[in-house]
Structure 1
Amino acid sequence: MRDVFIIGSRGLPAQYGGFETFVENLVKNQKSKDIRYHVACLSHDKTEKGRHFDYEGADCFVVKPAKLGPASVMSYDARAIKQALKYIKEENIEAPIFYILGNTIGGFIKKYIRKIHKVGGLVFVNPDGLEWRRTKWSGPVRAYLKYAEKKMVQHADLIVSDNQGIADYLTAEYGEVKTRVIAYGTEQMSSRLTSSPTLDKFEVSDYFLIVGRFVPENNYEMLVRSFVTSQLKQDLVIVTNYEGNPFYEELDRLTGFKADPRIKFVGTVYDQEELRFIREHAVAYLHGHEVGGTNPGLLEALWSTPVSLVLDCDFNRKTAEDAVLYFNIQNLPDKLSALPGLSDYDRKIYQEKARQLVQTKYTWDAICQEYEVLFLES
């Protein structure tokens, strides 16, 4: 039996995106009976600390982090590792694998890796995207995250990159890196809805779509500015949690979008059926992300939206290949303006390419099988 301890997600059941969705699918799609997953789960209730519960066959253990502001994430990872090591000793578990999601604890990882190696374990790390480039962090935090990335690469037994672009970046930055590329997956489902309460509320029917975290590095300024200055008759629907975010007012100062009735910030849509419906009926999905790896939102668009217009960067090209249209800051206005005139035939060709790509590379069944092979052969 190979015991795999997953550290760094908020835990199960998944209530967020990204890592949590990945862990949930890894557990739900498990095929091998020779693997036992142990998942750290975040809780702020001190009475729950150390509690174990079963979720889809995975052993979930509750971890309460210290209240340290932004450093709480590091506390959460550190305490999860300590609790896992204690459990390994109590249960006499041999040769465990620790799969750490994210680089947050990287600055302190050396001492934890020593302890894990001492019990015969291995440490795998998924660095996610280039977190240190995110502008939401202050200068000192970004400097720490870059340092943490370096230390993870130096000391981990294996780096699991979700995108070849991440693996290429790490090799270029740090020299020879022991890495394996395993992408994220996405579901191949169509919405069963016949309407969207959100679209009805905002009286939208003909629209472009953006879905993603409301942060500057997702290039909202570039996308919104180009839309505001365009002659497009469609609306721009933006699904994001913008309320209370100071970037909302900053974006208006930069683009003047509030004076344009076509720009519709609709908030967050939590119902996945409705979100699929919104994706499926868009003229095109606009994707401006540039610091991540294989972005889950882009994968969802590849399946659900007939045409996607995607920022031309290495991570996105490695993900979407020739199944989407690409833009840069110079040609974005022209690319946007041309989309409504795209023929039904061309739209069908792009959707067929995108769906074939998803079925070939991004099914959860295939992704989880790759992970099982990795864990069992290590």
Structure 2
Amino acid sequence: MKVAILGTVGVPGRYGGFETLAENLVRYHTRTGCQRGLTVWCSGKDNASHPPRFESAELRYVGLRANGVQSIPYDAVSLWQAVRSGHDRIVLLGVSGALALPLIRLVGRRARIVTNIDGIEWKREKWKGLARIILRASEWAAVRFSHEVIADNQAIADHVRGTYGADCHVIAYGGDHALAHTGEGTTPKGLPETYALALCRIEPENNVHTILEAFSGLEIPLVFVGNWSNSAYGREMKARYAATPNLYLLDPLYDPDTLYALRRRASIYIHGHSAGGTNPSLVEMMHFGVPVLAHGCAFNRYSTEEKALFFDTPEELKALVRALTPTAAARIGNDMQEIARRRYTWDRIGEAYFALLERA
């Protein structure tokens, strides 16, 4: 059996959740001594160097970007190359190239396609008009023409069942890689000893404005890490709140030791995501045993088994922070860590993926 992983920038992961997933599936493949051949398709444009291998996986490159408009031909070309090179198990991460699946299934009749449909991408606020129509059609094609479909959250599986009458395998993400570090690491200079922490892409659906408005009316420090310069929304938020004394708005951090140190010093984690299923940043932070205050969408409630605290408005978040006692914080933090160790480890996720590939 030859396995192909498609739909990411590449490995090792340096971009987002799917790249982290692909990297840890490769590491699981290496760690368990799996004899199945494994190939990961990577973007030739998004990777400065083109190493031929990563751990036990062969790497192949397509000369397109893996995100934005080019993601559609990037995924389609990757699918074509995977079936033409004899891969009989294909893991497609995301639905960008799913409109090509009817043709791919005609060409590669032996190949079994397993698609992780990600969040309900077409509902995200950043997609309008034609882009939203294409993404919705791609979601339909992914469900209709994949042999197996993976949802990373039960709320997404419920959406697929209700919309398309199809069943999904629910397999989340691991988060225990966030505990790996080579040293204690150091946080950026000028931060207080302890603080509330938020870490995400700066997008409206992640409720950055809600979090910043709430904490601008509190005394507790908030460290907020994100890509503030990448959008008009991010630049507006930073311009409005950067001078607020208790708000520390940091640019993205990627060094594992620095992220580890930053998370270890947090007293509260604020999670504003309202879309996307099981968010990697949430399950990573749950391993640190810190109380989570999360947006009250169905995705977050499922991920935390309803044991986090939930908000929808700045006023609700502000009230939750003010009312949080040390006893309640310790209880919620312990609950988050117990759930993470039980559900969100890469050994568990890797085992589920490869077992599904065997059965597909």
TM score, norm. by length of structure 2: 0.91
* Counterpart in the other structure of 2:40: 39
Query: Are 2:276 and 1:283 aligned?
Result: no
* Counterpart in the other structure of 2:118: 128
* Aligned partner (choices 159, 162, 172) of residue 172 of structure 1: 162
Distance in structure 2 (CA, Å) of the matches to 1:161 and 1:75: 23
Distance in structure 2 (CA, Å) of the matches to 1:241 and 1:193: 26
Question: What amino acid is the match of 1:291?
Answer: A
CA deviation vs aligned residue, 1:40-70 (integer Å, no higher than 9, x gap): 011029999xx88232111221111289x93
* Counterpart in the other structure of 1:139: 129
Is contact 1:193-1:274 (8 Å) kept?
no
Distance in structure 2 (CA, Å) of the matches to 1:250 and 1:75: 33
Partner secondary structure for residue 29 of structure 1:
helix
* Counterpart in the other structure of 2:355: 373
Offset, 1:27:
1.1
Offset, 1:195:
6.3
Is contact 1:53-1:60 (8 Å) kept?
yes
Partner secondary structure for residue 333 of structure 2:
helix
Offset, 1:178:
3.4
5 Å-filtered alignment, 1:340-351, equals 342-343=325-326, 345-351=327-333
Distance in structure 2 (CA, Å) of the matches to 1:186 and 1:97: 25
5 Å-filtered alignment, 1:56-205, equals 56-65=55-64, 70-88=68-86, 96-117=88-109, 120-175=110-165, 177-187=166-176, 189=179, 196-198=186-188, 200=189, 202-205=190-193
Partner secondary structure for residue 159 of structure 1:
strand
* Counterpart in the other structure of 2:344: 362
Is contact 1:193-1:277 (8 Å) kept?
no
Give the unaligned 5+ runs of structure 2. none
Question: What amino acid is the match of 2:101?
Answer: I
* Counterpart in the other structure of 2:224: 238
Going from structure 1 to structure 2, the CA distance change for 1:272 and 1:168 (only over 3 Å counts) comes to same
CA deviation vs aligned residue, 1:266-306 (integer Å, no higher than 9, x gap): 11111112112211211211001011111110011111252
* Counterpart in the other structure of 2:197: 209
Question: What amino acid is the match of 2:221?
Answer: D
Distance in structure 2 (CA, Å) of the matches to 1:323 and 1:147: 35
Figure out how many residues of one structure are paired with residues of the other and give that number: 356
Query: Are 2:233 and 1:251 aligned?
Result: no
Is contact 2:228-2:235 (8 Å) kept?
no
Is contact 2:175-2:285 (8 Å) kept?
no
Give the unaligned 5+ runs of structure 1. none
Question: What amino acid is the match of 2:170?
Answer: V
* Counterpart in the other structure of 2:322: 337
Is contact 1:52-1:59 (8 Å) kept?
no
* Aligned partner (choices 306, 314, 318) of residue 298 of structure 2: 314
Distance in structure 2 (CA, Å) of the matches to 1:71 and 1:142: 12
* Counterpart in the other structure of 1:297: 281
Partner secondary structure for residue 124 of structure 1:
strand
Offset, 1:259:
4.4
Q: Once superposed, which parts of structure 1, at least 4 consecutive aligned residues long, lie more than 6 Å away?
A: 45-48
Offset, 1:192:
6.6
Partner secondary structure for residue 238 of structure 1:
strand
Larger displacement relative to structure 2 (162-171 or 100-109): 100-109
Question: What amino acid is the match of 2:107?
Answer: K
Structure (1 or 2) with the larger CA radius of gyration? 1
